[in-house]
Amino acid sequence: MDEIVFSAIQLEWDEETRRTNREWYGFDFEQVRDMEVDDAAYFPHVAEGEDRCLILAPIGDKLFAVLVTPRPPNLKVLSLREANNREMDRYEQFWET
């Protein structure tokens, strides 16, 4: 997956998934628009038969993990939560290389 520029891409999501994400993690998919994409680390992979990308990037002073899948011309948000310790390490390693 190429670099993502959120201001140039229309985001989409399933409303039920959005509500579930807010209940589980306390974050709304609208917050993806606030990710600092210049500081993002991208990790493409395939899951459940579709291309996906884990994006680790700051929102404010915290590191977040957002899972997306391309739905041309849109980008579908699947999950948004704070990054866990393993992802924080992965993010730091990404920028060290």
pLDDT tens for 2-37 read 445 555 678 999 999 999 999 999 999 999 999 998
Residue percentage of the chain with pLDDT more than 90: 76
Q: Does the model's pTM come out above 0.85?
A: yes
In this structure, what are the phi and psi dihedrals at residue 25, rounded to the nearest 5 degrees? -110, -15
Which pLDDT tens digit goes with each residue over 78-92? 999 999 999 999 999
User: Would you state the pLDDT for residue 6?
Assistant: 54
Residues with Cβ within 8 Å of residue 47, at least 6 apart in sequence: none
Distance CA 46, CA 40 (A): 19
CATH superfamily for 6-96 is Ribonuclease toxin, BrnT, of type II toxin-antitoxin system (3.10.450.530)
- Which band of pLDDT confidence, cut at 50, 70 and 90, is reported for residue 48? confident
**Domain residue spans in the chain?**
6-96
